[in-house]
Structure 1
Amino acid sequence: MFKTELNLPKNYDKTKSYPLILLNDGEIFRLNALKDKAIIIGLKAVNRLDAFTPYPAKNIRPGIPDFGGSADKYHRLVFETFLPEVLSEYNIDHERIVYGGYSLGGLAAVYSLSTVDIPGIVFSLCGSFWYPNFIKYCKDTDFKNKKASVYLLNGKNEGDKHNNILENAPKIATDLHSIIKEKIMDVTSVFDNYGHHENLESRYSNLCIWLSEKLKV
């Protein structure tokens, strides 16, 4: 269901305990600022429309396959099968496990808060919170991972000039941030003035600064 890409710190020391960052979509170069401070593993889903979505839904774009809604299966593989293997192979601080992603990868990360209690830190950049009925799901669901530290970033101009549900993405994201704050105590909520695919370098740079503080690295 997914392939992996691994980055070990340059001077990895087996006797030293390291943070672990699990990044959906596998673009671990985005976290270069942390490459020598944490073990970073990119999770490359074979079908991200299935792996990163919480339940089946019609796609909003004609001619593109519908969303499969297999996030539960994906997370079981990640946290119940893959993660134990990683923990047995490398010296990882169990209190400093991070999970997150961008767009649908961010949606999956936030969804995991309701079903999985393992990651101590969860982040979402431009999470696809417009996903059909996701706001209602979050509002109605008692989250399992209430002790996590959470970083949420969305752009105020996401969905601009789209003639579908994406036009409401900023408002939906605002509502979602508020809902997450009600369920989890430690939430950092950020909105910038960009669209969905803009300002990526700065967005990841700010995330790395936040992660460095949380991980104490």
Structure 2
Amino acid sequence: MKSFKEEKCEIYLWGEEIKEPVPVIWCHIFSREEGEKIWQQITRPCVLAGVSGRDWNGDFSPWKAEKAFAKSTDFTGGAGEYLRYFEQELLPRAEQNLSFEVKDRGIVGYSMAGLFAVYAMYHSDKFNRIGTMSGSLWFDGWADYAMSHSMKAENPLIYISLGSREHKVRNVRMASVKVCTERLAAHWGKFCPVICESNPGGHFDDPEGRVARGISRLLAYGGKSPTECDVQPAKEIFKHIL
């Protein structure tokens, strides 16, 4: 594993010693330890590029909104600015350490980082494997925005997972996560393959395992392009498991 520091963050590369071309999966994490746990559970060849140290309520929120918890901070809507910095500075800085030209790239994340992953799908053409694990798809206005705008990603393959009890919370905004996730999964399923899974438990249960499982599922299609994947329509899956 190789690591190096950038402005306000640290980047970790797991699998950077691989010589042949493999997918590079970008994932925003809280710590190196979290990244290690994810890496150890991925079942398919890839390079895992983890980024820690970012402001989750600032860098990953698409626009300003009130904080979700009393002891938290307001969402400052910095996703657009951060995505530009991420694409122009962090991504090329990290990938120049690899011995192959990157042609297959994904972005995944948990909670607010999962929201940022799908935000990137609408504003960047650099990622074709998108994973939102227990993603904050309840974020104010996001579902309506996503359903009324076009994706910039080319031939994306999307993975969505949600805990079976995530919507059973007192916070009204966060309680809408199931409805918002169902709406978006069905919408995205009209345009590209979508893999949907339900996990037992609430939002804070086994985040590393959920991320690793999602990455493994995104990688399971090997050399196939996302448009060739035989994936059941999202609305049919959610009907049975959520």
Give me the TM-score of the superposition, normalised by structure 1: 0.86
Q: CA deviation at 1:132?
A: 0.3
What amino acid sits opposite 1:18 in the alignment?
V
What amino acid is aligned across from residue 191 of structure 1 in structure 2?
S
Instruction: After superposition, give the CA deviation of every residue in 1:103-124 in whole Å (9 maximum; x if it has no partner).
Output: 0000000111110010121111
1:117 and 1:3 mapped to 2: Cα distance?
23
User: Are residues 1:49 and 2:57 paired?
Assistant: yes
Match of 1:131 in 2: 139
Percent identical pairs in the alignment equals 19
Residue 83 of structure 1 deviates from its aligned partner by 1.6
Shift of 1:205: 4.6
Alpha-carbon distance in structure 1 between the residues aligned to 2:176 and 2:148: 21
Matches for 1:108-187 after TM superposition, within 5 Å: 108-182=116-190, 184-187=191-194
2:103 is aligned, of 88, 95, 102, to 95
CA distance in 2, matches of 1:206, 1:8: 16
The code of the aligned residue for 2:117 comes to A
2:100, 2:76 → 1: CA distance?
Answer: 32
Is 1:191 paired with 2:183?
no
Q: What is the aligned counterpart of 1:9 among 12, 15, 20? A: 15
SS at match of 2:122: coil
Shift in alpha-carbon separation, 1:92–1:131, aligned structure 2, 3 A: farther
Rounded Cα–Cα distance in structure 1 between residues aligned with 2:35 and 2:208: 13
Structure 2 unaligned segments of length 5 or more: list them: 1-6, 224-242
Q: Indicate how the Cα distance of structure 1 residues 63 and 7 shifts in structure 2: closer, same or farther if over 3 A, else same.
A: closer
Residue identity matched to 2:116: A
Residue 20 of structure 1 is aligned with which of 15, 19, 24? 24
Moved over 6 A (4+): none
Alpha-carbon distance between aligned partners in 2 of 1:18 and 1:127, rounded to the nearest angstrom? 25
Q: Deviations over 1:30-52 (max 9, x none)?
A: 13234993322211243111011
Verify the 8 A CA contact 1:2 1:43 in the aligned structure 2.
Answer: no
Q: Choose which of 69, 74, 98 in structure 2 pairs with 1:66.
A: 74
TM norm structure 2: 0.78
Q: Deviations over 1:134-172 (max 9, x none)?
A: 011101111111411111111231032314212222122
Count, aligned residues: 213
How big is the alpha-carbon RMSD for the aligned residues of Structure 1 and Structure 2? Answer: 2.4
